[in-house]
Amino acid sequence: MGQAQSGDSGRHVSTEQLSHELALKFAKRCFTPLELYSFQDVFRSLADHQGSIAYLKEDTIARFLEIPDVIGVSSIVFQMVSYLGAFPFGQDAPVVLGFEQMVMVVVIMTERYQRVLKKGNRDRTKLLFRSLAVFDNKALQTHGEKSVEDGSDDTAGAHKEAPRSHVRGFAIDESANDEDDEDDDDLALAALESLDAIEVFRHGDAPIAQASIPSDNLKKLIMLLLLVAPLGTQENLARHTERLSGEQLEGLRKTADNILAAFVNVEKFPGVKIHQFNTVIPISLPFLFGGFNPLFEHFLFSKNIDFTKRKDGADAPISAPASQEDQPLLSQTGEILDLNVLSQLSFFLPGESLFRRLRLLYSGGDAGFSLGSFETKVFNWRAPTILLVSGNRISDPPTGGQERAFSDTLPPKRFQDSGKSDHVVFGVYLGQPWHQTHKECFGDTDIKLFQLEPVHEVFHASSINTDYVYFAKPPSAHSGIGFGCPHPKAKQTSGLTTHVNLGAVSLLLDSSFEFGVFTHNYTSGGGAFRNSETRKYDFQDRFEIESLEVWGCGGDAEAEQQRQRWAWEEREAEARRRVNLGTGDVDADRALLEMAGLIGGNRSGGSMN
């Protein structure tokens, strides 16, 4: 009997008490004692007061985090944190941001909740969607009327009214694929489970399928995320203000537009639905919200605390976090890669391998557009590389002679263009060193084929088809660089010409680096790279290459290794040049070259006559 009463006692605890207990649990187990002390000091120094209530205002948070006014994102961030502060009872949002509410905000924004919740692997994507979303009033009214008419009661609290929302008034068109119409919030359930209070979970939030993030709001947030992407521990956002003026600001907006296009066609739909959000982020933008971690960690470090002294006057064993080294995020700006595109790459590639770690290995504008110059600059780099290519779509049918000649090497075009924009940017992340291929492609499942403009999307490798990369020089029938295409066969001696074999999802660059073609044959079901999950149709972009560059992921050690490899090959080449030939005995000279491994097999030593 007593056991039953004990088990039921949690049912009568108020949501306010549960929120208090969860905040206390998070504060003790998610923050170190020093972080908690700093957090208390920061909150006290920032808080406004109304009677006995201490709270943070919108402009206070924006000023403390150094969020720039030019983006116009402060109110959107405040909307987010006002919702997250109510966790795990989102239906009570927006809330006044007192101390306990800010504990919730910081724990969620820095992903420290994983230290407490039993199901810590659950991500915060759905929670962040709700924090950004607004709800369609008409849909909510219809939902409420239907519940009354049907006498249905799908909520735990048996309320006969339309569900509450923290933001109202955004009318949207219904999407055909809203499969995520679930009221349960995984993180909220896990939080209540950690308190043994799962019984009090209330389905009071509006159905998530009736919610949408306004496209303009999401664009502004993406601009902020592009800015904060490179932040290190305790690095101030104000250090990157140079990205907020002139051409860099226009580039920031353009990059945000390309990323927004991954979620929604803004010309047709005014907002992003949960299905699109949950589909795009895991595949193409898994690290999109990573910049929130260092940004909100600023609340855990107080500038009023002297970390160099202890009470007894001795030196403190713990020092303040060191600031980032004063070296540029990007050693030099390329024709394609700049700080905005670099941040865009960090949304799906680990930032620690990008910021302050990239060096330009090859640029077609500097070294020349040829396979030979590419090989000279890129081969022997023993760390991952990123290839970027940009260009302008060629007309269909082609008008110029060179365009027609390139099109003649391809199968007849059967697919539509990917969009209205004529300018396109594609790329490949490759973890293996480059080398020439003769019969088979190389690469592994870590390779990523992606588009950056006009739509951001990542095409992951398939494990079934392994035609990842080829680098084919003559005498291949169709020399060049292919990603996702079968390796070209040796040049045929007959007068019959064959078209290049394009993969289902593939990028092909011709041998002169004049033209390229990206193919997405959705109907075929994919090849070495998987089909798009959002653009479920066939398209193909044939383009004239404007810029081509390859960036090496690595630092001085990788560069030195490449230099040593080049030096070794140069010594080997010099040794070959010193071989004493020309004695008149052709057979003896050939035997000498074969013993040296310079000719024979797939190698050719050239003419012996």
pLDDT at 146 over 60: no
pLDDT at 559: 65
Pick from 84, 130, 128, 297: nearest CA to 222:
128
Judgement on whether residues 493 and 597 belong to the same structural domain of the protein: no
Judgement on whether residues 486 and 591 belong to the same structural domain of the protein: no
In a domain, 103, yes or no: no
Q: Provide the residue range defining the domain that includes 343.
A: 339-556
Q: Span 474-491, mean pLDDT?
A: 86
In a domain, 36, yes or no: no
Residue 31 and residue 112 in contact, taking contact as beta carbons nearer than 8 Å: yes
Q: What is the spatial distance between Cα 79 and Cα 73, in angstroms, rounded to a whole number?
A: 10
pLDDT at 323: 46
Judgement on whether residues 588 and 441 belong to the same structural domain of the protein: no
pLDDT digits (tens, 9 = 90+) for 282-310: 999 999 999 999 999 999 999 887 655 55
In a domain, 255, yes or no: yes
Residues pairing with 543 in the sheet: 516
Q: Number of helices (H) and strands (E), helices first, in the chain?
A: 19, 15
Assign 158 to helix, strand or coil.
coil
pLDDT at 150 over 80: no
pLDDT at 468: 97
Residues 6+ apart with CB under 8 A from 107: 26, 30, 113
Instruction: At 90, list the tokens.
Output: 């989102």
pLDDT digits (tens, 9 = 90+) for 80-126: 999 999 998 888 999 999 999 999 999 999 999 988 886 655 678 88
Higher local confidence (pLDDT), 343 or 586: 343
pLDDT at 24 over 90: yes
Among 241-250, 395-404, 520-529, the least confident range = 395-404
Judgement on whether residues 550 and 586 belong to the same structural domain of the protein: no
Residues 6+ apart with CB under 8 A from 485: 467, 470, 500, 501, 502, 503, 506, 508
pLDDT digits (tens, 9 = 90+) for 119-131: 655 678 889 999 9
In a domain, 195, yes or no: no
Pick from 587, 585, 285: nearest CA to 457:
285
In a domain, 269, yes or no: yes
Judgement on whether residues 265 and 378 belong to the same structural domain of the protein: no
Pick from 344, 339, 330, 78: nearest CA to 225:
344
What's this model's pTM, rounded to 2 decimal places? Answer: 0.83
pLDDT digits (tens, 9 = 90+) for 172-199: 334 444 444 444 567 787 887 877 766 6
DSSP state of 243: G
Residues pairing with 309 in the sheet: 315
Q: What is the spatial distance between Cα 347 and Cα 328, in angstroms, rounded to a whole number?
A: 19
pLDDT digits (tens, 9 = 90+) for 565-589: 656 666 666 666 665 555 556 666 6
Residues pairing with 545 in the sheet: 391
Q: What is the spatial distance between Cα 545 and Cα 357, in angstroms, rounded to a whole number?
A: 26
Judgement on whether residues 545 and 597 belong to the same structural domain of the protein: no
Judgement on whether residues 587 and 534 belong to the same structural domain of the protein: no
Judgement on whether residues 546 and 587 belong to the same structural domain of the protein: no
User: At which of 260, 288, 316 does a domain end?
Assistant: 288
User: At which of 272, 288, 304 does a domain end?
Assistant: 288
Higher local confidence (pLDDT), 324 or 287: 287
Higher local confidence (pLDDT), 511 or 175: 511
Tell me what the pLDDT averaged over the chain comes to. 82
Q: Span 362-373, mean pLDDT?
A: 95
pLDDT at 570: 60
Q: How far is CA 453 from the centre of its chain?
A: 14
pLDDT at 477 over 70: yes
pLDDT digits (tens, 9 = 90+) for 275-284: 999 999 999 9
Higher local confidence (pLDDT), 176 or 222: 222
Q: Span 517-529, mean pLDDT?
A: 93
In a domain, 302, yes or no: no
Domain count, the chain: 3
Instruction: Considering only the C-alpha atoms of the chain, give the largest distance between any 2 of them, rounded to a whole number of Å.
Output: 109
Judgement on whether residues 418 and 516 belong to the same structural domain of the protein: yes
pLDDT at 221: 98
Containing H/E element for 505? strand 505-510
pLDDT at 568: 62
Instruction: At 510, list the tokens.
Output: 């011709």
In a domain, 525, yes or no: yes
In a domain, 444, yes or no: yes
Judgement on whether residues 226 and 346 belong to the same structural domain of the protein: no
Judgement on whether residues 427 and 359 belong to the same structural domain of the protein: yes
Judgement on whether residues 522 and 587 belong to the same structural domain of the protein: no
